[in-house]
Amino acid sequence: MQSTRPDILAAGLFATIGGIVVAGSRGLEPGTLMRMGPGYLPTTVGILVLALAAVLGLRAALARPTDEDRVDWRLGPIAAILAALGAFALLIDPIGLVGATMALIAAARFADRPLRPGETLVLMLAGAAFSALVFVHLLQLPIALWPA
């Protein structure tokens, strides 16, 4: 896969977030030194981040790239994990804990190969039973088990 220098990417990421914070604080009262408004520190810290990110990026751009700089991106696992959490978030309120748990486990298992469908099914059932028993029955969390 592609190889990029991590520090340049990191500098870009920090600069983006710093920029968002500076822009997002524009509507906030900066205030005075005695009465600092809500915008005073976010703006200050955001600008500091932009400056330091520039230093980080420049330093990386000037340095000679080495083999250690290679970043291996394997997006499969993280994508499956995020999809699993997303499925849980989407389903927990409409269909309850049992369905959301099964969906999470099914999606998460795509993060690993081979897929082993039989084992996944067992895990889905076991996970649903465990979460229903422990969280709803024993700990009495007010979470619906089934669709209302």
Nearest-angstrom CA–CA distance, 144 and 147: 7
The residue within the footprint of another protein, chosen from 1, 2, 74, 118 (CB under 8 A), is 74
Q: Which of 140, 111, 137 is nearest to 123 (CA)?
A: 111
* Residue 77 engages another protein in binding (rule: CB under 8 A): yes
Residues 81-110 that bind another protein (CB under 8 A): 81-82, 84-86, 88-89, 92-93, 97, 100-101, 104-105, 108-109
- Binder of another protein out of 3, 16, 37, 146 (CB under 8 A): 37
| Nearer of residues 38 and 67 to another protein, judged by Cβ | 38
DSSP 3-state assignment of 48?
Answer: helix
Q: Is 125 in the site for another protein (CB under 8 A)?
A: no
Q: Which is nearer to another protein, 33 or 67 (CB)?
A: 33
- Residue 144 burial class via C-beta count within 10 angstroms: exposed 0-12, middle 13-18, buried 19 and up: middle
Instruction: Determine the Cα–Cα distance for residues 129 and 97; give it in Å rounded to an integer.
Output: 10
**Quick one: which of 95, 123, 125, 145 contacts another protein (CB under 8 A)?**
123
